[in-house]
């Protein structure tokens, strides 16, 4: 949807965002179970704890707008309107998946939704988002592009290149840094120097730091950024501070010698879980009945379970597609 001039989030809008966040969490929990039980052909990088960022941002986007994602891309896929069935089938490596089972968890994409793909390369989507923004600018239809990336990716040179060209060309681009405090298994404070948002400001790009656990705050910041981009005013940088509730990959403790963060740290930070923050706002200040919250959670659970069953029952990839999708005839 288009960015609004009114920067207030209505109750029904918040309910819908909570429902989408809850669906992402339900899907991630089940995919995590599938990973631990050896049902998947590869590892998964789960998005739990960061749902408010993807949902708050993508709420302002239509299928005509573009996003690029990261290796932790399931949440972006669903937030942009991707089907849970399509996601599960892809992660399970089945022919009914978003990429016919040939991409897997780190390469989910749905071009019909403007979801240009998750990316196994750290920072790999940043340059692609600039290209999408340039294409949108040339099309002249008011489209925008969003590049999601983690705090670890800010150490990649491509970010500086994109900051530079986006400002020079006034691209309709929103760069969203999901600062979850960990770069793989390293605390970000040990591997990223300085203030991340200040890097964008140094190029003359408007930059904001927002509480990534608060979907309302993310929604409001994105409303401003999307409006600027659509009106031809150029790019915006959003640093959304959150916390990764799951490990770098779901099965990491099967090969790590010791934990790199304490259970106490995770438990303390889980108190700021974006789903808890949103549900408290809904049942408190917004007066939404607890029964409705419970129904949203049950609906999400049912959709995730349906998606899992669909994936398990789906056929494996058609191997001829490996060639036909990679090579163009004629």
- pLDDT score for 3: 40
For residues 25 and 300, the answer to whether their CB atoms sit within 8 Å is yes
Tell me if 192 is assigned to some domain: yes
Tell me if 127 is assigned to some domain: yes
| Residue 38 neighbours by CB under 8 Å, 6+ apart | none
Question: Above pLDDT 90, what percent of the chain?
Answer: 89
- pLDDT score for 218: 98
CATH number of the domain at 84, please. 3.40.50.970
39 is in which domain, residue-wise? Answer: 11-318
**What is the phi/psi pair of residue 205, to 5°?**
-95, 130
Please report which confidence band the pLDDT of residue 6 belongs to, taking 50, 70 and 90 as the band edges: low
Does the structure show a pLDDT above 60 at 1?
Answer: no
- pLDDT score for 275: 98
Count of domains for the chain:
1
Tell me if 19 is assigned to some domain: yes
- pLDDT score for 118: 97
Distances from the Cα of 23 to the Cα of 95, 211, 258, 297, 303, angstroms: 23, 21, 32, 8, 8
The predicted-structure confidence for 266-279, as pLDDT tens digits, reads as follows 999 999 999 999 99
Tell me if 160 is assigned to some domain: yes
Tell me if 94 is assigned to some domain: yes
**Mean pLDDT on 74-93:** 98
**Mean pLDDT on 215-238:** 98
Question: Above pLDDT 70, what percent of the chain?
Answer: 98
Q: Distance between CA 83 and CA 109 in Å, rounded?
A: 11
Tell me if 325 is assigned to some domain: no
Record the pTM: 0.94
Tell me if 169 is assigned to some domain: yes
The predicted-structure confidence for 284-316, as pLDDT tens digits, reads as follows 999 999 999 999 999 999 999 999 999 999 999
Tell me if 2 is assigned to some domain: no
């Amino acid at each position: 949807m288009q960015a609004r001039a009114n920067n207030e989030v209505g109750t029904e809008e918040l309910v819908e965002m909570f429902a989408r966040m809850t669906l992402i969490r339900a899907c991630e929990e089940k995919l995590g179970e599938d990973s631990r039980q050896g049902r998947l052909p590869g590892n998964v990088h789960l998005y739990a704890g960061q749902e408010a960022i993807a949902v708050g941002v993508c709420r302002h986007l239509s299928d005509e707008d573009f996003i690029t994602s990261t290796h932790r891309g399931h949440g972006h896929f669903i937030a942009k309107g991707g089907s849970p069935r399509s996601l599960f089938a892809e992660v399970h490596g089945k022919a009914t998946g978003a990429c016919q089972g040939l991409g897997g968890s780190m390469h989910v994409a749905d071009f019909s939704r403007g979801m240009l793909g998750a990316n196994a390369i750290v920072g790999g989507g940043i340059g692609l988002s600039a290209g999408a923004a340039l294409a949108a600018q040339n099309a002249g239809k008011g489209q925008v592009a969003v590049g999601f990336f983690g705090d670890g990716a800010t150490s990649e040179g491509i970010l500086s290149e994109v900051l530079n060209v986006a400002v020079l060309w006034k691209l309709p681009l929103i760069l969203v840094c999901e600062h979850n405090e960990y770069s793989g298994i390293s605390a970000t404070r040990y591997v990223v120097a300085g203030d991340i948002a200040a890097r964008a400001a140094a190029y003359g790009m408007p930059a904001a730091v927002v509480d990534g656990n608060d979907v309302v705050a993310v929604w409001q910041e994105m409303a401003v950024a999307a409006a600027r981009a659509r009106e031809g005013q150029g790019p915006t940088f959003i640093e959304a501070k959150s916390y990764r509730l799951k490990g770098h990959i779901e099965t990491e403790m099967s090969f790590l010698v010791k934990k790199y963060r304490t259970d106490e740290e995770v438990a303390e930070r889980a108190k700021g879980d974006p789903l808890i923050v949103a549900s408290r706002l809904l049942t408190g200040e917004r007066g939404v009945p607890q029964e409705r919250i419970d129904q949203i959670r049950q609906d999400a659970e049912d959709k995730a379970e349906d998606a899992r069953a669909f994936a398990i029952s789906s056929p494996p990839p058609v191997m001829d597609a490996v060639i036909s999708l990679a090579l163009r005839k004629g």
